[in-house]
């Protein structure tokens, strides 16, 4: 056994036989005082004498301190002191290098945190505080996921949430992305009653375009396919004369037909870009393709579908040389008997269906006088 020093105060840690430490004071080789003390009391006595920085350095030297000392100590802290400890720990973690530590700490706290225990004001304040800390976020998926989680908890139908709905719609209305806007329109349409915004009357067979003008005029364009038709020219009848595909554009106001324009086309399917050509026979004005059709002014209709028979009425009317742009109409008709019309013989008007369709308002107004002009044309015809 070692000989004890002659002078001083000495601490002897517990051995296997005892759990108490011994504090011994010796003077001139004699023990003048000896005291048994518990280890935890001895530890507290030492820590009370140490500077905080030294105490932290000593504690953190051992990996067992957290599990053996710090954890049991934290379990006995009250709420206020525990909050101070947590604040101190977070305060020590500064800089981006410590972010994983803070995230881990936050997850541990969050796993024990029941937001339902907060009053509504505190709950909103907590979320606002967290989100305000997000100053830079290249990928907003995290915020989008959070929004979806919150949205699943909200009672949309509640009247108290009407302001939230208005705010969301306000944000959506400022979005410039066309696809997002279209998706939003389609989604919101499910909650809107279906309202008819436009409805046409029953239209004639072969209608390719329909338009209503502000003055009450209706424009109806009928197509008639390329065909061979009988033509009466003065007192002669020419059988199976080839005709190109034609468009008849009628302007109707009320029960009266204000005018008709006739165009030739080459396209099998009418499209906005379909090119228009001059009618290759007689009785159609060169300037605006208006038909010289005196009988039209005397026809009254009750429904637009009654227009479907008018192209055939025009084909069956006696023809003459009036307004024919060629040299000899009779020879032209004789040449086309029993043959399909060759589209290469058509003369282009240098405009498309859409170009002409946009012109119809002024064209319909110009043709109002056609009913007065018709008897004079009849004499010429």
SS3 280: coil
For residue 304, the model assigns a pLDDT of 96
At residue 195, does pLDDT exceed 80? no
For residue 332, the model assigns a pLDDT of 94
Spatial separation of the C-alpha atoms in residues 176 and 182, rounded to whole Å = 11
Confidence grade of residue 218 (pLDDT, cut at 50, 70, 90): very high
Domain residue ranges of the chain, discontinuous segments joined by +: 154-195, 207-380
Residues in contact with 318: Cβ distance below 8 Å, sequence separation at least 6, in sequence order = 232, 233, 234
At residue 187, does pLDDT exceed 50? yes
Taking only the tens place, the pLDDT of each residue in 35-51 is 888 877 777 777 777 77
Confidence grade of residue 374 (pLDDT, cut at 50, 70, 90): very low
Spatial separation of the C-alpha atoms in residues 248 and 290, rounded to whole Å = 10
Confidence grade of residue 73 (pLDDT, cut at 50, 70, 90): low
- For the chain, the first-to-last Cα distance in angstroms comes to 149
| Beta-bridge partner residues of 8 | 26
At residue 314, does pLDDT exceed 90? yes
Confidence grade of residue 4 (pLDDT, cut at 50, 70, 90): low
At residue 132, does pLDDT exceed 80? no
Spatial separation of the C-alpha atoms in residues 144 and 172, rounded to whole Å = 14
C-alpha distances out from residue 84 to 51, 68, 74, 268, 296, Å: 19, 21, 11, 85, 98
For residue 138, the model assigns a pLDDT of 59
Token readout for 379 is 């004499």
SS3 26: strand
Spatial separation of the C-alpha atoms in residues 219 and 333, rounded to whole Å = 31
Best mean pLDDT range from 45-49, 186-190, 240-244: 240-244
At residue 345, does pLDDT exceed 80? yes
Spatial separation of the C-alpha atoms in residues 76 and 97, rounded to whole Å = 31
Spatial separation of the C-alpha atoms in residues 295 and 292, rounded to whole Å = 9
For residue 372, the model assigns a pLDDT of 36
Spatial separation of the C-alpha atoms in residues 55 and 5, rounded to whole Å = 29
In this predicted model, which residue has the larger pLDDT, 257 or 158? 257
Residue ranges of the alpha helices (H) in 93-195? 99-111, 120-132, 141-153, 162-173, 178-189
Spatial separation of the C-alpha atoms in residues 317 and 307, rounded to whole Å = 16
For residue 344, the model assigns a pLDDT of 96
At residue 290, does pLDDT exceed 70? yes
Average pLDDT over residues 236-252: 97
Confidence grade of residue 378 (pLDDT, cut at 50, 70, 90): very low
For residue 261, the model assigns a pLDDT of 96
Taking only the tens place, the pLDDT of each residue in 347-368 is 999 999 988 876 554 444 454 4
* DSSP states of 238-271: EEEEEE-EEEEEEEEETTEEEEEEEEEE--SS--
Best mean pLDDT range from 42-51, 56-65, 305-314: 305-314
User: From start to end of 13-57, where are the E strands?
Assistant: 20-27, 30-38
Average pLDDT over residues 314-319: 92
Helix and strand element counts for the chain (H, E): 14, 11
Q: Starting at the earlier edge strand, list the strands of the sheet with 30-38.
A: 8-12, 20-27, 30-38
Confidence grade of residue 219 (pLDDT, cut at 50, 70, 90): very high
Crossing angle for the helix pair 178-189 and 162-173, to the nearest 10 degrees: 140
Confidence grade of residue 128 (pLDDT, cut at 50, 70, 90): confident
């Amino acid at each position: 056994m070692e000989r004890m020093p002659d002078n001083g105060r000495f601490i002897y840690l517990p051995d296997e036989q005892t759990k108490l430490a011994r504090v011994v004071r010796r003077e001139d080789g004699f023990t003048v005082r000896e005291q048994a003390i518990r280890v935890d009391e001895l530890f507290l006595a030492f820590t009370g004498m140490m500077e905080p920085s030294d105490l932290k350095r000593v504690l953190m030297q051992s990996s067992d301190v957290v599990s053996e000392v710090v954890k049991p100590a934290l379990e006995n802290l009250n709420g206020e002191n525990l909050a101070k400890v947590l604040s101190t720990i977070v305060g020590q973690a500064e800089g981006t290098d410590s972010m994983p530590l803070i995230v881990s700490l936050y997850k541990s706290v969050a796993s024990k945190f029941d937001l339902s225990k907060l009053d509504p004001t505190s709950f909103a304040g907590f979320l606002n505080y967290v989100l305000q800390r997000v100053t830079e976020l290249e990928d907003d998926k995290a915020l989008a996921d959070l929004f979806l989680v919150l949205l699943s908890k909200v009672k949309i139908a509640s009247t108290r949430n009407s302001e939230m709905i208005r705010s969301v719609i306000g944000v959506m209305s400022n979005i410039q992305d066309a696809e997002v806007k279209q998706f939003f329109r389609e989604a919101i349409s499910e909650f809107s009653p279906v309202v008819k915004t436009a409805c046409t009357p029953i239209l004639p067979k072969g209608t390719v375009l329909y338009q209503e003008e502000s003055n009450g005029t209706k424009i109806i364009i009928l197509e008639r396919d390329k065909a061979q038709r009988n033509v009466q020219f003065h007192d002669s009848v020419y059988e199976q004369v080839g005709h190109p595909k034609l468009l008849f554009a009628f302007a109707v106001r009320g029960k009266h037909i204000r005018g008709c324009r006739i165009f030739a086309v080459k396209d099998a399917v009418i499209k906005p870009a379909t090119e228009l050509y001059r009618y290759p026979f007689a009785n159609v004005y060169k300037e605006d393709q208006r038909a010289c059709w005196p009988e039209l002014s005397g026809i009254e209709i009750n429904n637009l579908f009654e227009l479907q028979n008018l192209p055939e009425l025009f084909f069956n009317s006696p023809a003459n040389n009036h307004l024919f742009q060629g040299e000899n109409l009779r020879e032209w008709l004789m040449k086309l008997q029993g043959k399909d019309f060759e589209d290469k013989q058509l003369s282009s008007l240098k405009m498309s269906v859409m170009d002409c369709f946009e012109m119809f308002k002024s064209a319909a107004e110009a043709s109002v006088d056609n009913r007065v002009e018709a008897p004079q044309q009849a004499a010429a015809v």
